[in-house]
Amino acid sequence: MSFLKTTESFQAGARTMPGRYYASPDILALEQERVFASHWICVGREGDFAVAGAYRLASVAGESLIVVRDREGQIRAHFNVCRHRGTRLCTESAGTLPETIQCPYHAWTYRLDGRLVGAPHMAGTPGFSMADYPLHAAAVGRWEGFVFVNLAPDPEPVEEAFAPLRHRFARFNLSSLTSVRRIDYEVGANWKLILQNYSECLHCPTIHPELTTKLPYTSGANDLVEGPFLGGYMEIRQPHESATMSGRACAIPLGDLPDEDRARAYYYTLFPGMMLSLHPDYAVWYSVTPRSATASLVTCEWMVHPEAPSQPGYNIADAEEFWDRTNRQDWHICEQSQLGVMSRVYQPGPYSPRESVPAAWDREYLRVMGAQDLAPPRGRAVPDARPAETPA
């Protein structure tokens, strides 16, 4: 994670955020409401819910959700909270449920669609009707093979929320890609430091010297520079074919890519906590979830063309190792940043023109938080060093 970033939308005077944004439990509580409980949060791929009963637990805005495909084929998200006395229903992070979900406490039993169908000894309770006690539900949406949930009572449809990305990645066939590797990382840093770190490659020569040989940090350009979706591309330095340890492609191309995409890697943040990396031969998606104000869970998953694993030359370990190493370098420096921004002497520092994307990310975050007064000053725009590119 890392990456280029040129200067298209850089606004003079942009500064980093005050230290309390990286350490205050009160700000995290506000984020849980305004950011995580009010946006579409990616909880997996449709392939994770391939059969009826297949489920994953997801942590969203501090809530545990059971995301499951029901018997009718619909993917649902239930709060992991019994309607009797509130007990957690599921504790295993993923698996396959039978016909029903049964509470381990007094055996209230729910269908996979959330309806309560068993409640021992409740018949004598005046006015009790099982129909009044389905599991609490969250909205479920899909985009490009990803499954999202939204805790808002009446959320904006996912298609509208993702409208700025419509058709942008069509050539990469995201919806049909298959997930082949997954790593969970516990990182001792506020979730925003991880998103900001992913959004610039100013740090690449110092933090990732070997990555820089394949992805020159001054190459490429940003093509999404304001709003909830931000990022752009870097060029893969010839004769390398991809961002892998060997420099060779590790799988067949994700799609029918034009020549220019065969020598590019695209990196985007999708507000709030999703990151998406596209290479000619594989993609990686990340989700960043706060554990506390000062710690985060990062889930990282590698995806390839569904036919890639059976093709000659397939070697996803080559890409996995490349990013596992790079990720760990990033997590380490984020943890060092965390320590520094908690210091009594830390004050917001100036962003450089090569940090235009993290500065834009901060603006979007502060807008969502309703903290415009704290946003970096909107000075005059600095002329770009190079033109913004429009994706094919």
The tokens describing 20, both together, are: 């309390």
Instruction: Return the residue of 24, 32, 64, 87 that touches ligand FES, per CB under 6 A.
Output: 87
How many alpha carbons lie under 13 Å from residue 73 in its C-beta half-sphere? 0
Q: Based on CB atoms, which residue is closest to ligand FES, 106 or 171?
A: 106
Under the binding rule (CB under 6 A), the answer on residue 15 touching ligand FES is: no
Q: In what order do the strands lie in the sheet with 264-270?
A: 178-187, 295-304, 283-292, 274-278, 264-270, 229-235, 221-224
The tokens describing 109, both together, are: 């039993």
Q: How far is the CB of 55 from ligand FES (least distance, A)?
A: 18
Residue 330's binding partner among ligand FES, Fe ion, none (Cβ under 5 to 8 angstroms by kind) is Fe ion
Under the binding rule (CB under 5 A), the answer on residue 355 touching Fe ion is: no
Under the binding rule (CB under 6 A), the answer on residue 109 touching ligand FES is: no
Q: How far is the CB of 72 from ligand FES (least distance, A)?
A: 24
Under the binding rule (CB under 6 A), the answer on residue 116 touching ligand FES is: no
Q: Using CB under 6 A, which of the segments 18-26, 105-113, 124-132, 140-148 binds ligand FES?
A: 105-113
Q: Based on CB atoms, which residue is closest to ligand FES, 125 or 238?
A: 125
Under the binding rule (CB under 6 A), the answer on residue 103 touching ligand FES is: yes
Q: Based on CB atoms, which residue is closest to ligand FES, 20 or 85?
A: 85
Instruction: Return the residue of 71, 85, 166, 386 that touches ligand FES, per CB under 6 A.
Output: 85
Contact call for residues 382 and 359 (beta carbons, < 8 A)? no
Instruction: For residue 120, give Cα distances in angstroms to 128, 134, 252, 340.
Output: 12, 15, 55, 55
Residue 374's binding partner among ligand FES, Fe ion, none (Cβ under 5 to 8 angstroms by kind) is none
Report the alpha-carbon distance of residue 17 to residue 200 in Å, rounded: 16
The residue at minimum Cβ distance from Fe ion is 2
Under the binding rule (CB under 6 A), the answer on residue 106 touching ligand FES is: yes
Q: How far is the CB of 342 from Fe ion (least distance, A)?
A: 21
Report the alpha-carbon distance of residue 150 to residue 41 in Å, rounded: 6
Enumerate residues 319-348 that contact Fe ion by CB under 5 A.
Answer: 330
Q: How far is the CB of 85 from ligand FES (least distance, A)?
A: 4
Burial 217-248 (b: 16+ CB within 10 A, else e): bbbbbbbbbbebbbbbbbbbeeebbbbbbebe
Start-to-end CA span in the chain (Å): 23
Q: How far is the CB of 124 from ligand FES (least distance, A)?
A: 16
Under the binding rule (CB under 6 A), the answer on residue 84 touching ligand FES is: yes
Report the alpha-carbon distance of residue 53 to residue 11 in Å, rounded: 50
DSSP 33: I
Q: How far is the CB of 86 from ligand FES (least distance, A)?
A: 6
H/E stretch holding 233 reads strand 229-235
Residue 351's binding partner among Fe ion, ligand FES, none (Cβ under 5 to 8 angstroms by kind) is none
Phi, psi angles (nearest 5°) of residue 152: -65, 145
Residues of this chain that interact with ligand FES (CB under 6 A) are: 82, 84-85, 87, 103, 105-108
